Structure formats: C-alpha cells, structure tokens
Structure 1
C-alpha cells in the first residue's frame, strides 16, 4: 500500500508549533521557514536561525525532524537544513550598547575560578558561532587578559575604544590600560565611571552575548550594572565545599536584591581524576553546588573538574585550547549548552505578545 500523499500546506501547518530558540515565537510568524518541498516520500525543509541560537542549531534541527516525522502521515524521510539569519541586536540601556543578552558571571568569594569560567563561557559561545564580547569588570584583579594571552593596549578611533579581537572574541579589560603590577585604588564613584565608559565608549559592535566577568563578592559594580543596562541574568560560580557555598548563596541573594535573575550555578573544581591511576578524588567535596542550586530553585549548568591541563592553558593564555581537549571540552560545552537552552526555554514559555496581524 502506497504512503498517503501530502502537500506543502500540511508540512507548513505542522511547523506552526516550532518556536524560534531566540525569541520563543513561532518560526512561521517570523518568516523563518524559508523553503518546503515534498517529492514522494521525501520532505525537505529549510529554516533560518540567528547566530544567537547557534549552540542550539543541531538540537533544533533534530526537534524539527522528529516533529515532522511524527506529525505527518506515513513514514516520511525528512531532511532539515538550517540557513543563517541576520537579526541585529537593538540598543539597550540608553548607552548605545547593542547586545541581545548581557550575562554577569559572579561569585561570592575569590579563588573559585570565576574568571576561568567567564572566559570559557565566552570562548565556547564564540566557537559555537555566536557574536560575543567579554568585559573584564574585575577592576581590582583583572585576569582575563592573562587567560587569553593578550598584552596589547586597546586603541581609540573616533572617541571609541577598540576592543581586542581574540579569535573573533571581542575583549576589554582594565588590565590592558594600567601598567603590569600597578594596583587600581578606586572608590565607588570611580568604579562606576570606569564600568560606564567600558560599556558606553567601547566599540562592541553588534553582539549576541556580552559576558561580564564580575569582581568577587557583593559590591558597587553589581549595583552599577543593574542601573546601567537590563542584564539578562547572572551565572554564579562556586566550589563544592560548604564555606564557598555559603558565599555563593550571598551572591545569589545580592543579584536577587538588585533584580538580576539567576541563570544558573556552575560548580568548579568538582573533583580530581588522577591521570596515573584513574582514581577520583573529591578534594573539596562533590555535588554541593548542584544540591544548593536545587534547594534554591535555580538551574545547575554543569561542573568543571580540577585538570592540570586547564590550569596550564590558563597560565599560557590559551583558554580557547580547552575546546580542543577531549577531556576538558565536554564540561565547558555543557555549560554553554545548558545556559543557551535555559534561555530558549524561558523565551518559549513567555514569548512576546502576538501582533494584531495574527489575532
């Protein structure tokens, strides 16, 4: 018995429930279904997605494929192609910054690997295909230039600082503007002015994500950011032991107090897997951040073990190299994926109101 014939309209109707991972609105409403063809048992579909959702392209392709196979009559052979869609960011905060999501990476205390996670998050999103900027707002202890191997000073063109380009990642840091070894001794108003200038007077261009490496603890810069721009949310980094978790809880409370949503928790230094005997050592305990995240009702984005190679690459300024290491890459890729997936789920659950044309 031959398979029941179908037409293009049936395919397009089945696609109406598929949401754009960036906006949460149906692809059909945003003219992102670019081509549909039906030839016998073969169904070919082309959809357009932005670089913002690049980490989720393969997920979306798989979802659309499975949805069509289950929705259409007969055993259809479905092929889904994804083409790039250019959708520039809108200016936010009244300071000329054009970024779709601004994400602060913070911690309750120093020494938990916050900057390593912030840099890795930015590198991972960039490698996935997103347009990413990285602002080192840790004015007192800027370590982002070291982690990326950058020593050059930024230049100014038409009264705008030009961020340093590191493999396509745009980066700016106070560490590039002060001589090595010199301390920055500033009070609150000067910090506010510096962060404002970094956001307003840096030529960031069109960004999908601006990742901000925050100073450790709770203080002035968090207040400054909450006043300057609408932050998408914050990622909190901690280690598994109780004393670090206590400080992480304070950081979460601080972000909540200034109305910055918590996008998730990352557990760094989760364990050490000995390369000599393959035995796992929970040096700082294990799983504490996951349990605390569940207790507080915030997402857990992933864990990063203690790995000598990660430390060596950070010291050598080769943080991008972690994504070429089969032992390190899965941990950082998981964090990037979990973050973007959670953002997409939030948009899907609360998409913008439909326009009058579709009522």
Structure 2
C-alpha cells in the first residue's frame, strides 16, 4: 500500500483509542479532536486538552504520533497541535469547593520534609500550567507561608476569604492569620471548624488541583477531610530510615481506614551528594521508601536528595526557585509527572461517567 493511500477514515479509526488524560474517555467522544488534515503521507491533527492534564500534554502528543506511525501504512509524518480546552471543575463535597482533584500530603511523623514536598507539588503543577490551590492544614506548625516567602494577611470580600496569590498559586494558611510566635492550642472540634472554614469560606475559584499540607501523624484533620470532601487520594512523605518507614506505614493504614486512596510515596532526604568531591552519602539509608512502597503495593513517585540549595531556598521563601535549578528541578518534576501520570492511568482503566456539562 502506498503512502498516498492514507485517508481520513484510517486516521479517524486509529484515533479512536486515544484517551483524554483528564477523564480517561476517548478524545473523540468529548469532541476534543478539533481538526484532522491528511495530505499524502503527512497528517496534521489539532486536539484540545484541559489545564488539568498540562503536565502530560507532551506525553499525549508523542503517544498520538507514535500510535499513528505504527498503526498506519508507510509511517506517515504526523504533526500534533494542542490547544487549551476550558472545562471548569464541578462543585464537590456540598461546601462549594470547585476542584477536580484534592490531594492530601501527609507523613507518619514530623521532620521528614512533608511541607517542602507539598509546596513543591503545588509549585510544580502550577508551573506546568495547572490551576492550583495550596491549603496549609498543619494548624499547629504552619510552614507553607515561610516556604513561599509571604506574610500577607488574607482579607474577606463578600464573606469569602481571598487566598494569597504567590506567582499564580493560590494559598491559604493558619500561619497568615495567627500572629507570629503565637501557638494554636485547639482541641478536635475547633480544628474541624477551622479546616471546614478554610475549604468552604475561601474563594478558591476554579481549581485543577487543591494540595493539602497535612499535620504530621494520624489525627483529627484526616477524619475531618474524609467527611467534608471526596479526596482524590494522599501522598505519603518519608525518609529512608526504618524508624520513619514504620511511621509511614501507620500513615498509610490511617488513610486506608478513612477510605482515602494512596496515590504514592515520596522519599525525601534520600541521599547527600557532596558538592566538594561528588561522593554520595546515604545518611539515612538508601531506597527504604521505594522498597516499602513495593511491599505495600502503592506507587513510588520519586526521591529528593539532601541539597543545601533546597534548604536555602526554603529558608528564603523561594520554593519556586527549585524549578529553575538544574540539580533540584528534575527530582521535583519527576514527582509531579509521576503523580499526574498515575492519575491519568487510573482514569483510563476506569473512566468516570461524564457529567452533563461535558456532553
């Protein structure tokens, strides 16, 4: 068969199996294939994708090209253009929150860098093109404002708190409301009320992802969240040593008890690469989180080494700067990519029923 015999019907047929990375449903079902041009051995396609799947746009483009070249005769030249598709989030949980995925970032114990990873996830997804909110639910030790370099106090407009905008990332934290140095001494009901207010009474707007930095350990806030909103799942942060892994296993068990899926494990402080001699030092052991994730049957999202620059940027409130650092950026980018890729794969296996708004 000659290259000239490729026709529109063949291309249409080959594209039937290509899924939207947000919904897992075929692109053609949701009218996301906007244009197909066939000229001899050249194919040009325009598809529309949402900002939710922005980290996977390049993956989707490459998948379409590879699929068409392998399934059509004479390996045609394929060009794929991606244009933005506006598909607003649906309200969830009965509290007016509009977010497509709500992801809790937790740990079994403190001191493992949970907040650093939560902020990195939010920054990475936002820089990829997603609409992201970040809720600091670590009421007793709110460190997100410091990591993002802001002390701006939120104001209320039309009975709604306005989240603080940090380079396009929407953020809310108890650390912006309580005076510096003042301790929060609350029991469970007050914690429940505060988290409810942050979710219900903050003007988050339309979000692709809401990242929630959880308090360390297993406590009231996890129960509150499970009752208020349908969480997409949780990311567990731990370090490689056994004592941290024991607590991480408890965190996994806690989320399982409240029916919150585990989206993956991140190993922080994975190793130290000495800048003077290039030698690697496994200060807290090596690969423990990866092995434990395999034992528990949950995804391993990636590792972050001990880097002086990461610590310095956190202290200076420049967490976004990690994505401009050639040594730090790949570690954080891999975690963001792995998370969104795993979510897309889950949707592809079991696509949710479409809502009336996208039909």
Question: Which TM-score applies when normalising by structure 1?
Answer: 0.98
Partner secondary structure for residue 59 of structure 1: helix
Q: Partner residue of 1:50? A: 50
Q: Deviations over 1:30-53 (max 9, x none)?
A: 000000001111100011100000
Partner secondary structure for residue 235 of structure 1: strand
Q: Partner residue of 1:108? A: 108
Partner secondary structure for residue 27 of structure 2: coil
How many residues are aligned here? 355
Alpha-carbon separation, structure 1, partners of 2:75 and 2:257: 53
Residues 2 and 73 in structure 2, CA contact (< 8 A), matched pair in contact too? no
RMSD (Å), alpha carbons: 1.0
Alpha-carbon separation, structure 1, partners of 2:46 and 2:15: 11
Q: Partner residue of 1:141? A: 141
Q: Partner residue of 2:211? A: 211
Residue 6 of structure 1: CA displacement?
1.9
Q: Deviations over 1:278-332 (max 9, x none)?
A: 0000000010000000000000000000000000000000000000000000000
Alpha-carbon separation, structure 2, partners of 1:15 and 1:354: 20
The answer on 1:274 being equivalent to 2:274 is: yes
Partner secondary structure for residue 208 of structure 2: strand
Alpha-carbon separation, structure 2, partners of 1:178 and 1:263: 32
Partner secondary structure for residue 105 of structure 2: strand
Residues 4 and 40 in structure 2, CA contact (< 8 A), matched pair in contact too? no
Q: Partner residue of 1:167? A: 167
Alpha-carbon separation, structure 2, partners of 1:75 and 1:61: 16
Q: Partner residue of 2:86? A: 86
Q: Which aligned pairs between 1:184-195 and structure 2 lie closer than 5 A?
A: 184-195=184-195
Q: Partner residue of 1:34? A: 34
Alpha-carbon separation, structure 1, partners of 2:276 and 2:2: 60
Q: Partner residue of 2:12? A: 12
Alpha-carbon separation, structure 2, partners of 1:2 and 1:218: 64
Q: Which aligned pairs between 1:246-325 and structure 2 lie closer than 5 A?
A: 246-325=246-325
Residues 4 and 74 in structure 1, CA contact (< 8 A), matched pair in contact too? no
Residue 352 of structure 1: CA displacement?
2.7
Q: Deviations over 1:186-210 (max 9, x none)?
A: 0000000000000000000000000
Residue 3 of structure 1: CA displacement?
2.2
- Would the alpha carbon gap of residues 354 and 122 (structure 1) be closer, same or farther in structure 2, given more than 3 Å must change? closer
Q: Partner residue of 1:119? A: 119
Q: Deviations over 1:118-151 (max 9, x none)?
A: 0000000000000000000000000000000010
Alpha-carbon separation, structure 2, partners of 1:73 and 1:44: 16
Alpha-carbon separation, structure 1, partners of 2:15 and 2:97: 34
Q: Partner residue of 1:239? A: 239
Partner secondary structure for residue 28 of structure 1: helix
Residues 313 and 322 in structure 2, CA contact (< 8 A), matched pair in contact too? yes
Alpha-carbon separation, structure 2, partners of 1:335 and 1:145: 22
Alpha-carbon separation, structure 1, partners of 2:253 and 2:8: 52
Alpha-carbon separation, structure 1, partners of 2:230 and 2:5: 50
The answer on 1:220 being equivalent to 2:227 is: no
Alpha-carbon separation, structure 2, partners of 1:132 and 1:105: 14
Alpha-carbon separation, structure 1, partners of 2:146 and 2:352: 41
For structure 1, the residue ranges without an aligned partner over 5 or more in a row are: none
Residues 147 and 317 in structure 1, CA contact (< 8 A), matched pair in contact too? yes
Residues 108 and 216 in structure 1, CA contact (< 8 A), matched pair in contact too? yes
Alpha-carbon separation, structure 2, partners of 1:188 and 1:75: 62
Residues 134 and 172 in structure 2, CA contact (< 8 A), matched pair in contact too? yes
Residues 69 and 78 in structure 1, CA contact (< 8 A), matched pair in contact too? yes
- Would the alpha carbon gap of residues 150 and 353 (structure 1) be closer, same or farther in structure 2, given more than 3 Å must change? closer
Residues 105 and 212 in structure 2, CA contact (< 8 A), matched pair in contact too? yes
Residue 342 of structure 1: CA displacement?
0.2
Alpha-carbon separation, structure 2, partners of 1:79 and 1:3: 16
Q: Partner residue of 1:327? A: 327
